[in-house]
Amino acid sequence: MMTSTLQNTEIPQDTYFQPRRLGHVNLVVGDLDASMRFYNEVVGFEETYRVLAIQGGFLGNGNTHHDIGMVASAGPSGKGRPPGLNHLAFELETEVDLVQGYERAIADQVVFQRTLDHDIAHSVYCEDPDGNSCELYADVERDWRNARTGNVTKAKPIWKPGMTVPNTERNYDPDPVINRVDHAIFHPLRTKHATLVVAHMQESLRFYQEVVGLTLLARHEQGRYAVFGGTCGERNIAVVQASDGNAPGLHHFGLELRSEAELDASLRELSARGMQPERVVNHPLRRAVFLTDPDGLRVQLFVDKSSDLRQWSEVDAELAQWVL
């Protein structure tokens, strides 16, 4: 696949998909109720709905139908897997883009795990070279706020691209009202990125550019890490080369805060409630706080200080997984 280089940015010229951004992360958790409480009371997302049939819970703040999803390890979707990443989800402009991209990928023998009708969105799933699941989806219901609330019991019909006439509308909210969970310690704007430690760096670079269709925004000169983003121009995914003591898997996912002042206020509140962060990072590019959830999974709450892509290519490789 051909790429062009422009201002330290490698832009795919012919990809299957063109995601706008990272839409949400979905986790496998040990105790659904405990995790839902943590992401509400500490992290600061509202519980938006649950799907009892899969022992799944979903949280957000009005920016989209959910920023974080989770399924219980013991449930039918968890399938006994240990806590960790279930999938990363990338939002497309329209269902037409989803269907056309899927058809091009299938024609080139790209393997997909499954396709699903989520009632408010249609999705296809594939795996990266390390086995991390990636969802590519498009919203098909504009009024998703009312379509997904409380306990959702509606059965999911069988769906594959081409079975129905694809929706041509952009059903995401371009200017959402962000809700604030006043009783929470932190108050994130939304889920914005995830950082993966990978065993197969070169294959991962190809996958996230050529299959998922992300833009390579920054890359360490010795190839120790890379940063990708969608058409919104954000830094959405970082991949870091695995090494001794840094095993492959989800390192963390990141939630953006409004300001450093708000980050400081939340740190004070965290301490007042007798809690401590795993780590606090004060880097020229980003200030960040790392928390661990009830399963020990890391969530980063951050404020960026610079958008200079050259600087994002020059982060010390030993610190990359904590900064990116």
The secondary element (H helix, E strand) that includes residue 59 is strand 56-60
- The rounded distance, in Å, linking the Cα atoms of 26 and 30 is 13
pLDDT of residue 245: 84
DSSP string, 286-314: EEEEEEE-TTS-EEEEEEE----HHHHTS
SS3 265: helix
Could you tell me where in the chain the CATH 3.10.180.10 domains are found?
21-143, 190-323
Q: In what order do the strands lie in the sheet with 279-282?
A: 3-6, 9-12, 215-219, 225-229, 237-241, 190-198, 249-256, 298-304, 286-292, 279-282
Q: What is the pLDDT of residue 13?
A: 54
Position 56, amino acid: G
> What whole-number distance in Å separates Cα of residue 106 and Cα of residue 42?
42
Which residue, 270, 212, 223, is CA-closest to 89? Answer: 212
* N-term to C-term CA, the chain: 26
CATH architecture under which domain 21-143 falls: Roll (3.10)
- CA 323 to CA 308: how far, in whole Å? 14
Report the predicted TM-score, pTM, of the whole model to 2 decimal places.
0.94
Find tokens 């809700």 and name the residue.
Answer: 179
* Residue ranges in the chain whose pLDDT is less than 70: 1-13
The string of pLDDT tens digits covering residues 214-259 is 999 999 999 999 999 999 999 999 999 999 888 999 999 999 999 9
Coil, helix or strand at residue 6: strand
DSSP characters over 202-213: HHHHHIIIIIS-
CATH code of the domain made up of 190-323: 3.10.180.10
Cβ contact 180:225 at 8 Å:
no
Alpha carbon distance 35, 79 (integer Å)? 18
Sign of the torsion formed by the C-alpha atoms of 229, 230, 233 and 236:
negative
The phi and psi torsions of 145 (rounded to 5 degrees) equal -60, -40
